[in-house]
Amino acid sequence: MKLNVNSEIAYTHLITRKKQTIIAALGVTVGIGIFIFMISLVVGFNRYSDEALFKAEPHIRIYQDDTLSRPLIKQIKPNYTTVIINPKIANLSNTLINPEKIIADLKKQDDIVTVTPQVSVNIFYNNGISQINGEASGVNILEANDMFNIESTMLAGDVRNLLSTSNGILIGVGIAEKLNIQLYDNINITSSIGVVKMMKVEGIFKTANSNIDLTKSYINLAMSQQLMKKSSSYLTDILVNIEDPNEAPKFSKKLQSSTIYKVEDWQAANEQSMSNKKTRQVMFGSISLAILLVAAFGIYNIINMTIKEKLNDIAILKATGFSGKDVINIFLKESLIMGIIGTSFGLLMAAGLIKFVSGIYIGGDREYFPIGYESPIFFIGAILGVLITLGAGYIPAIGAAKIDPIEIFRK
Protein backbone atom coordinates (compact mmCIF):
# COMPACT_ATOMS: atom_id res chain seq x y z
CA MET A 1 0.00 0.00 0.00
CA LYS A 2 1.45 3.32 -1.01
CA LEU A 3 -0.13 6.43 0.43
CA ASN A 4 0.94 9.94 -0.22
CA VAL A 5 2.93 11.28 2.69
CA ASN A 6 0.20 13.64 3.95
CA SER A 7 -2.32 10.80 4.02
CA GLU A 8 0.18 8.61 5.79
CA ILE A 9 0.70 11.20 8.53
CA ALA A 10 -3.06 11.78 8.89
CA TYR A 11 -3.69 8.05 9.02
CA THR A 12 -0.96 7.52 11.65
CA HIS A 13 -2.38 10.33 13.80
CA LEU A 14 -5.78 8.69 13.69
CA ILE A 15 -4.73 5.16 14.54
CA THR A 16 -2.36 6.19 17.32
CA ARG A 17 -5.28 8.05 18.91
CA LYS A 18 -7.94 5.45 18.34
CA LYS A 19 -10.06 6.45 21.29
CA GLN A 20 -10.45 10.07 20.26
CA THR A 21 -10.99 9.08 16.65
CA ILE A 22 -13.77 6.73 17.67
CA ILE A 23 -15.41 9.29 19.95
CA ALA A 24 -15.37 11.97 17.26
CA ALA A 25 -16.70 9.54 14.65
CA LEU A 26 -19.35 8.40 17.11
CA GLY A 27 -20.52 12.00 17.46
CA VAL A 28 -21.01 12.16 13.70
CA THR A 29 -22.69 8.75 13.73
CA VAL A 30 -25.29 9.85 16.26
CA GLY A 31 -25.73 13.21 14.55
CA ILE A 32 -26.26 11.78 11.08
CA GLY A 33 -28.29 8.84 12.37
CA ILE A 34 -30.73 11.04 14.24
CA PHE A 35 -30.82 13.57 11.41
CA ILE A 36 -31.81 11.01 8.79
CA PHE A 37 -34.22 9.30 11.18
CA MET A 38 -36.02 12.50 12.09
CA ILE A 39 -36.30 13.74 8.53
CA SER A 40 -37.56 10.31 7.42
CA LEU A 41 -40.12 10.51 10.21
CA VAL A 42 -41.37 13.85 8.92
CA VAL A 43 -41.40 12.73 5.30
CA GLY A 44 -43.14 9.48 6.20
CA PHE A 45 -45.74 11.23 8.28
CA ASN A 46 -46.35 13.91 5.65
CA ARG A 47 -46.79 11.26 2.99
CA TYR A 48 -49.19 9.42 5.24
CA SER A 49 -51.27 12.50 5.98
CA ASP A 50 -51.27 13.47 2.31
CA GLU A 51 -52.44 10.00 1.38
CA ALA A 52 -55.20 10.24 3.95
CA LEU A 53 -56.13 13.61 2.55
CA PHE A 54 -56.23 12.35 -1.03
CA LYS A 55 -58.71 9.68 -0.06
CA ALA A 56 -61.23 12.46 0.40
CA GLU A 57 -59.93 15.22 -1.83
CA PRO A 58 -58.65 15.57 -5.36
CA HIS A 59 -55.42 17.36 -6.17
CA ILE A 60 -57.36 20.04 -8.01
CA ARG A 61 -61.06 20.94 -7.96
CA ILE A 62 -62.78 23.09 -10.59
CA TYR A 63 -66.13 24.56 -9.60
CA GLN A 64 -68.42 27.52 -10.08
CA ASP A 65 -67.56 29.98 -7.37
CA ASP A 66 -70.14 32.33 -5.96
CA THR A 67 -70.05 35.65 -7.78
CA LEU A 68 -71.28 38.92 -6.38
CA SER A 69 -73.60 41.23 -8.26
CA ARG A 70 -71.89 44.30 -9.69
CA PRO A 71 -73.21 47.83 -9.94
CA LEU A 72 -74.80 48.69 -13.27
CA ILE A 73 -72.74 51.82 -13.72
CA LYS A 74 -69.15 52.29 -12.75
CA GLN A 75 -67.93 55.00 -10.46
CA ILE A 76 -66.36 57.23 -13.06
CA LYS A 77 -64.39 59.61 -10.88
CA PRO A 78 -63.86 59.64 -7.16
CA ASN A 79 -66.13 62.21 -5.45
CA TYR A 80 -68.17 62.59 -8.64
CA THR A 81 -70.86 59.98 -8.60
CA THR A 82 -71.53 57.94 -5.53
CA VAL A 83 -72.89 54.54 -6.38
CA ILE A 84 -74.53 52.72 -3.55
CA ILE A 85 -74.86 49.02 -4.13
CA ASN A 86 -75.99 46.07 -2.08
CA PRO A 87 -74.03 43.18 -3.53
CA LYS A 88 -75.72 39.81 -3.50
CA ILE A 89 -74.63 36.42 -4.64
CA ALA A 90 -75.71 36.43 -8.21
CA ASN A 91 -75.31 32.82 -9.31
CA LEU A 92 -78.28 31.53 -11.16
CA SER A 93 -76.98 28.04 -10.84
CA ASN A 94 -73.77 26.44 -9.60
CA THR A 95 -73.51 24.22 -12.63
CA LEU A 96 -70.53 24.25 -14.96
CA ILE A 97 -71.47 25.09 -18.53
CA ASN A 98 -70.36 22.63 -21.19
CA PRO A 99 -68.37 20.47 -18.74
CA GLU A 100 -67.67 17.80 -21.39
CA LYS A 101 -65.48 20.25 -23.25
CA ILE A 102 -63.54 21.12 -20.08
CA ILE A 103 -63.08 17.46 -19.26
CA ALA A 104 -62.00 16.62 -22.79
CA ASP A 105 -59.51 19.52 -22.79
CA LEU A 106 -58.11 18.44 -19.45
CA LYS A 107 -57.67 14.87 -20.57
CA LYS A 108 -55.45 16.05 -23.42
CA GLN A 109 -52.89 17.49 -20.99
CA ASP A 110 -49.77 15.51 -20.15
CA ASP A 111 -49.53 15.36 -16.38
CA ILE A 112 -53.17 14.49 -15.76
CA VAL A 113 -53.84 11.12 -14.16
CA THR A 114 -57.59 11.20 -13.58
CA VAL A 115 -60.36 13.64 -14.44
CA THR A 116 -63.82 12.98 -13.14
CA PRO A 117 -67.05 14.99 -12.83
CA GLN A 118 -68.92 15.22 -9.58
CA VAL A 119 -72.23 16.56 -8.29
CA SER A 120 -72.27 17.50 -4.64
CA VAL A 121 -75.69 17.27 -3.02
CA ASN A 122 -76.56 18.26 0.51
CA ILE A 123 -78.86 15.58 1.87
CA PHE A 124 -80.43 14.10 4.99
CA TYR A 125 -80.03 10.43 5.78
CA ASN A 126 -83.20 9.12 7.42
CA ASN A 127 -83.99 5.86 9.15
CA GLY A 128 -87.21 5.98 11.12
CA ILE A 129 -87.03 9.10 13.22
CA SER A 130 -83.24 9.40 13.30
CA GLN A 131 -81.81 11.83 10.81
CA ILE A 132 -78.30 12.89 9.90
CA ASN A 133 -77.39 15.64 7.51
CA GLY A 134 -74.50 15.11 5.20
CA GLU A 135 -73.23 15.34 1.68
CA ALA A 136 -73.63 12.85 -1.11
CA SER A 137 -71.14 12.90 -3.97
CA GLY A 138 -72.64 11.91 -7.28
CA VAL A 139 -69.77 10.26 -9.11
CA ASN A 140 -68.74 7.98 -11.89
CA ILE A 141 -67.79 5.31 -9.39
CA LEU A 142 -64.92 3.70 -11.32
CA GLU A 143 -63.18 7.03 -11.93
CA ALA A 144 -63.82 8.13 -8.35
CA ASN A 145 -62.35 4.86 -7.14
CA ASP A 146 -59.24 5.53 -9.23
CA MET A 147 -58.94 8.93 -7.65
CA PHE A 148 -59.75 8.29 -4.00
CA ASN A 149 -59.04 4.60 -3.75
CA ILE A 150 -62.43 4.12 -2.11
CA GLU A 151 -61.97 0.39 -2.40
CA SER A 152 -59.14 0.43 0.17
CA THR A 153 -61.42 2.01 2.75
CA MET A 154 -64.35 -0.38 2.27
CA LEU A 155 -65.42 -2.37 5.33
CA ALA A 156 -68.25 -4.21 3.58
CA GLY A 157 -69.73 -4.42 0.11
CA ASP A 158 -68.16 -3.58 -3.22
CA VAL A 159 -67.82 -0.25 -5.01
CA ARG A 160 -68.63 -1.90 -8.35
CA ASN A 161 -72.14 -2.77 -7.20
CA LEU A 162 -73.04 0.89 -7.77
CA LEU A 163 -72.69 0.22 -11.51
CA SER A 164 -75.47 -2.31 -11.52
CA THR A 165 -77.68 -0.69 -8.91
CA SER A 166 -78.88 2.73 -9.99
CA ASN A 167 -80.13 3.55 -6.49
CA GLY A 168 -77.08 2.13 -4.75
CA ILE A 169 -75.22 4.15 -2.12
CA LEU A 170 -71.87 3.80 -0.32
CA ILE A 171 -72.05 5.27 3.17
CA GLY A 172 -69.53 6.10 5.86
CA VAL A 173 -69.32 3.80 8.84
CA GLY A 174 -70.43 6.61 11.16
CA ILE A 175 -73.74 6.96 9.35
CA ALA A 176 -74.27 3.20 9.39
CA GLU A 177 -73.68 3.00 13.12
CA LYS A 178 -75.76 6.00 14.00
CA LEU A 179 -78.74 4.95 11.89
CA ASN A 180 -78.20 1.26 12.70
CA ILE A 181 -77.96 0.28 9.07
CA GLN A 182 -76.37 -2.88 7.68
CA LEU A 183 -75.11 -3.75 4.24
CA TYR A 184 -77.94 -4.14 1.67
CA ASP A 185 -80.42 -2.37 4.00
CA ASN A 186 -82.49 0.43 2.54
CA ILE A 187 -81.90 4.02 3.54
CA ASN A 188 -84.09 7.02 2.91
CA ILE A 189 -82.41 10.23 1.74
CA THR A 190 -83.82 13.72 1.25
CA SER A 191 -82.09 16.33 -0.82
CA SER A 192 -81.87 20.02 0.02
CA ILE A 193 -84.63 20.79 -2.47
CA GLY A 194 -86.92 18.15 -1.01
CA VAL A 195 -86.55 15.18 -3.34
CA VAL A 196 -86.84 11.93 -1.40
CA LYS A 197 -85.22 8.70 -2.62
CA MET A 198 -85.02 5.21 -1.23
CA MET A 199 -81.45 3.96 -1.61
CA LYS A 200 -79.87 0.54 -1.13
CA VAL A 201 -76.61 0.37 0.89
CA GLU A 202 -74.10 -1.34 -1.39
CA GLY A 203 -71.04 -0.60 0.73
CA ILE A 204 -69.78 0.84 3.98
CA PHE A 205 -66.42 2.62 4.15
CA LYS A 206 -64.19 3.90 6.92
CA THR A 207 -61.68 6.67 6.25
CA ALA A 208 -59.07 8.11 8.63
CA ASN A 209 -61.42 11.00 9.37
CA SER A 210 -64.42 10.14 11.54
CA ASN A 211 -66.16 13.35 10.54
CA ILE A 212 -66.16 12.25 6.91
CA ASP A 213 -67.44 8.82 7.96
CA LEU A 214 -70.38 10.52 9.62
CA THR A 215 -71.44 12.68 6.64
CA LYS A 216 -70.16 11.40 3.34
CA SER A 217 -71.69 9.03 0.87
CA TYR A 218 -71.15 8.12 -2.78
CA ILE A 219 -74.02 7.72 -5.23
CA ASN A 220 -74.30 7.45 -8.99
CA LEU A 221 -73.98 10.66 -10.97
CA ALA A 222 -77.45 10.27 -12.51
CA MET A 223 -79.02 9.75 -9.10
CA SER A 224 -77.47 12.95 -7.78
CA GLN A 225 -78.80 14.88 -10.77
CA GLN A 226 -82.26 13.53 -10.04
CA LEU A 227 -81.93 14.59 -6.40
CA MET A 228 -81.32 18.14 -7.64
CA LYS A 229 -84.05 17.85 -10.28
CA LYS A 230 -81.52 18.65 -12.98
CA SER A 231 -80.65 17.29 -16.37
CA SER A 232 -77.71 15.03 -17.10
CA SER A 233 -75.56 18.03 -18.06
CA TYR A 234 -75.66 19.31 -14.48
CA LEU A 235 -72.21 19.08 -12.84
CA THR A 236 -70.96 21.03 -9.86
CA ASP A 237 -67.30 20.00 -9.77
CA ILE A 238 -64.62 18.61 -11.97
CA LEU A 239 -61.98 16.77 -9.96
CA VAL A 240 -58.46 16.40 -11.29
CA ASN A 241 -55.57 14.27 -10.11
CA ILE A 242 -52.09 14.93 -11.50
CA GLU A 243 -48.81 13.02 -11.46
CA ASP A 244 -47.11 14.94 -8.67
CA PRO A 245 -49.46 16.41 -6.06
CA ASN A 246 -46.77 18.93 -5.08
CA GLU A 247 -47.07 20.49 -8.53
CA ALA A 248 -50.76 21.19 -7.97
CA PRO A 249 -50.43 24.95 -7.24
CA LYS A 250 -48.46 25.49 -10.47
CA PHE A 251 -50.92 23.41 -12.40
CA SER A 252 -53.97 25.13 -10.97
CA LYS A 253 -52.51 28.52 -11.85
CA LYS A 254 -52.12 27.37 -15.43
CA LEU A 255 -55.66 26.03 -15.54
CA GLN A 256 -57.09 29.14 -13.91
CA SER A 257 -55.86 31.27 -16.79
CA SER A 258 -57.88 29.21 -19.27
CA THR A 259 -61.21 29.00 -17.49
CA ILE A 260 -63.74 31.31 -15.87
CA TYR A 261 -64.42 28.81 -13.13
CA LYS A 262 -62.63 28.64 -9.82
CA VAL A 263 -59.62 26.29 -9.84
CA GLU A 264 -58.52 25.26 -6.38
CA ASP A 265 -55.51 23.10 -5.56
CA TRP A 266 -55.47 20.92 -2.46
CA GLN A 267 -52.83 23.05 -0.80
CA ALA A 268 -55.09 26.10 -1.00
CA ALA A 269 -58.08 24.09 0.18
CA ASN A 270 -56.18 22.79 3.20
CA GLU A 271 -54.23 25.78 4.48
CA GLN A 272 -54.45 24.51 8.03
CA SER A 273 -52.86 21.17 7.33
CA MET A 274 -50.30 22.85 5.06
CA SER A 275 -49.22 25.14 7.87
CA ASN A 276 -49.06 22.15 10.23
CA LYS A 277 -46.85 20.43 7.73
CA LYS A 278 -44.54 23.41 7.47
CA THR A 279 -44.35 23.74 11.25
CA ARG A 280 -43.43 20.08 11.49
CA GLN A 281 -40.74 20.42 8.85
CA VAL A 282 -39.18 23.48 10.46
CA MET A 283 -39.34 21.97 13.93
CA PHE A 284 -37.77 18.62 13.09
CA GLY A 285 -35.37 20.20 10.63
CA SER A 286 -33.99 22.61 13.20
CA ILE A 287 -33.71 19.96 15.90
CA SER A 288 -31.81 17.60 13.65
CA LEU A 289 -29.57 20.36 12.33
CA ALA A 290 -28.77 21.29 15.93
CA ILE A 291 -27.76 17.70 16.60
CA LEU A 292 -25.57 17.73 13.50
CA LEU A 293 -23.97 20.94 14.67
CA VAL A 294 -23.13 19.39 18.03
CA ALA A 295 -21.50 16.50 16.19
CA ALA A 296 -19.53 19.00 14.13
CA PHE A 297 -18.31 20.65 17.31
CA GLY A 298 -17.12 17.23 18.45
CA ILE A 299 -14.95 16.92 15.35
CA TYR A 300 -13.78 20.51 15.72
CA ASN A 301 -12.80 19.82 19.30
CA ILE A 302 -10.85 16.66 18.57
CA ILE A 303 -8.97 18.21 15.66
CA ASN A 304 -8.28 21.30 17.71
CA MET A 305 -6.94 19.19 20.56
CA THR A 306 -4.81 17.12 18.20
CA ILE A 307 -3.32 20.32 16.84
CA LYS A 308 -2.63 21.72 20.33
CA GLU A 309 -0.85 18.49 21.25
CA LYS A 310 1.02 18.29 17.97
CA LEU A 311 2.46 21.79 17.86
CA ASN A 312 5.99 20.35 17.90
CA ASP A 313 5.20 17.95 15.11
CA ILE A 314 3.66 20.68 13.01
CA ALA A 315 6.73 22.87 13.57
CA ILE A 316 9.00 19.99 12.54
CA LEU A 317 6.96 19.27 9.44
CA LYS A 318 7.10 22.90 8.45
CA ALA A 319 10.85 23.06 9.11
CA THR A 320 11.44 20.01 6.92
CA GLY A 321 9.57 21.55 4.04
CA PHE A 322 5.86 20.97 4.51
CA SER A 323 3.91 24.07 3.50
CA GLY A 324 0.83 25.53 5.20
CA LYS A 325 -1.23 23.84 2.49
CA ASP A 326 0.20 20.45 3.41
CA VAL A 327 -0.66 21.01 7.07
CA ILE A 328 -4.26 21.92 6.17
CA ASN A 329 -4.35 18.90 3.91
CA ILE A 330 -3.22 16.58 6.73
CA PHE A 331 -5.82 17.76 9.23
CA LEU A 332 -8.59 17.94 6.62
CA LYS A 333 -7.84 14.33 5.75
CA GLU A 334 -8.09 13.40 9.41
CA SER A 335 -11.51 15.00 9.77
CA LEU A 336 -12.60 13.59 6.43
CA ILE A 337 -11.72 10.07 7.53
CA MET A 338 -13.52 10.55 10.85
CA GLY A 339 -16.45 12.07 8.95
CA ILE A 340 -16.67 9.19 6.49
CA ILE A 341 -16.45 6.54 9.21
CA GLY A 342 -18.97 8.39 11.38
CA THR A 343 -21.33 9.04 8.49
CA SER A 344 -21.31 5.44 7.27
CA PHE A 345 -22.20 4.18 10.72
CA GLY A 346 -24.75 7.00 10.95
CA LEU A 347 -26.45 5.65 7.81
CA LEU A 348 -26.54 2.19 9.37
CA MET A 349 -27.90 3.63 12.60
CA ALA A 350 -30.64 5.53 10.77
CA ALA A 351 -31.58 2.37 8.87
CA GLY A 352 -31.76 0.46 12.15
CA LEU A 353 -33.90 3.12 13.82
CA ILE A 354 -36.26 3.28 10.85
CA LYS A 355 -36.56 -0.50 10.81
CA PHE A 356 -37.33 -0.52 14.52
CA VAL A 357 -39.86 2.32 14.44
CA SER A 358 -41.63 1.06 11.31
CA GLY A 359 -42.42 -2.09 13.31
CA ILE A 360 -44.25 -0.20 16.04
CA TYR A 361 -47.99 -0.83 15.94
CA ILE A 362 -50.00 2.37 16.18
CA GLY A 363 -53.46 1.18 15.15
CA GLY A 364 -55.77 3.25 12.95
CA ASP A 365 -56.03 2.55 9.26
CA ARG A 366 -52.25 2.71 8.81
CA GLU A 367 -51.61 0.15 11.57
CA TYR A 368 -47.82 0.65 11.63
CA PHE A 369 -45.75 3.77 12.05
CA PRO A 370 -45.64 5.68 8.74
CA ILE A 371 -41.90 5.70 8.11
CA GLY A 372 -39.78 4.23 5.34
CA TYR A 373 -36.29 4.21 3.87
CA GLU A 374 -36.10 7.43 1.89
CA SER A 375 -33.03 7.12 -0.33
CA PRO A 376 -32.80 10.86 -1.13
CA ILE A 377 -32.69 11.62 2.60
CA PHE A 378 -29.94 9.06 3.16
CA PHE A 379 -28.06 10.65 0.28
CA ILE A 380 -28.47 14.17 1.66
CA GLY A 381 -27.51 12.93 5.13
CA ALA A 382 -24.32 11.35 3.80
CA ILE A 383 -23.30 14.46 1.87
CA LEU A 384 -24.14 16.71 4.81
CA GLY A 385 -22.20 14.53 7.25
CA VAL A 386 -19.05 14.65 5.18
CA LEU A 387 -19.37 18.37 4.40
CA ILE A 388 -19.97 19.35 8.01
CA THR A 389 -17.02 17.35 9.30
CA LEU A 390 -14.82 18.84 6.58
CA GLY A 391 -15.94 22.31 7.68
CA ALA A 392 -15.33 21.46 11.32
CA GLY A 393 -11.83 20.26 10.51
CA TYR A 394 -11.01 23.15 8.20
CA ILE A 395 -11.26 25.88 10.84
CA PRO A 396 -8.63 24.47 13.23
CA ALA A 397 -6.54 23.31 10.25
CA ILE A 398 -6.18 26.90 9.06
CA GLY A 399 -4.95 27.76 12.54
CA ALA A 400 -2.42 24.94 12.35
CA ALA A 401 -1.20 26.15 8.96
CA LYS A 402 -0.46 29.57 10.46
CA ILE A 403 1.70 28.18 13.27
CA ASP A 404 5.11 29.80 13.21
CA PRO A 405 7.69 27.05 13.79
CA ILE A 406 10.22 29.53 15.18
CA GLU A 407 7.95 30.33 18.08
CA ILE A 408 7.74 26.65 18.91
CA PHE A 409 11.49 26.08 18.62
CA ARG A 410 12.33 29.09 20.78
CA LYS A 411 10.42 27.73 23.77
Name residues contacting other proteins, limited to 287-306 (CB under 8 A). none
Long-range contacts from 273-282, C-beta under 8 angstroms, 24+ separation: 273/49, 273/53, 277/46, 277/49, 280/42, 280/45, 280/46, 281/42, 281/46
Q: Name the segment binding other proteins (CB under 8 A); options: 273-281, 288-296, 328-336, 401-409.
A: 401-409
Phi, psi of 270 (to 5 degrees): -125, 55
Distance (Å, whole) CA 322 – CA 325: 8
Among 274, 238, 207, CA closest to 46: 274
Under rule CB under 8 A, residue 9 binds other proteins: yes
Q: Name the segment binding other proteins (CB under 8 A); options: 12-20, 186-194, 278-286, 345-353.
A: 12-20
Torsion sign over Cα 371, 377, 379, 382:
negative
Name residues contacting other proteins, limited to 82-111 (CB under 8 A). none
150 DSSP assignment: G
Q: Which helix (H) or strand (E) holds 349?
A: helix 324-358
Residues 6+ apart with CB under 8 A from 319: 405, 409
- Closest approach of Cβ 404 to other proteins, in Å? 8
Q: Name the segment binding other proteins (CB under 8 A); options: 4-12, 198-206, 263-271, 339-347.
A: 4-12
Q: How wide is the angle at C-alpha 275 spanned by C-alphas 272 and 280, nearest 5°?
A: 125
- Residue 233 half-sphere exposure toward CB, CA atoms < 13 A: 8
Number of residues that bind other proteins (CB under 8 A): 27
- Closest approach of Cβ 406 to other proteins, in Å? 5
Q: Which is nearer to other proteins, 249 or 324 (CB)?
A: 324
Alpha-carbon dihedral angle through residues 31, 32, 38, 39, given to the nearest 10 degrees: 140
Q: Which is nearer to other proteins, 244 or 407 (CB)?
A: 407
Q: Which is nearer to other proteins, 11 or 394 (CB)?
A: 11
- Closest approach of Cβ 17 to other proteins, in Å? 9
- Closest approach of Cβ 21 to other proteins, in Å? 13
Under rule CB under 8 A, residue 13 binds other proteins: yes
Under rule CB under 8 A, residue 376 binds other proteins: no
Name residues contacting other proteins, limited to 303-342 (CB under 8 A). 312-313, 315-326
Which residues bind to other proteins, rule: CB under 8 A? 2, 4-5, 8-9, 12-13, 16, 312-313, 315-326, 404-406, 409-410
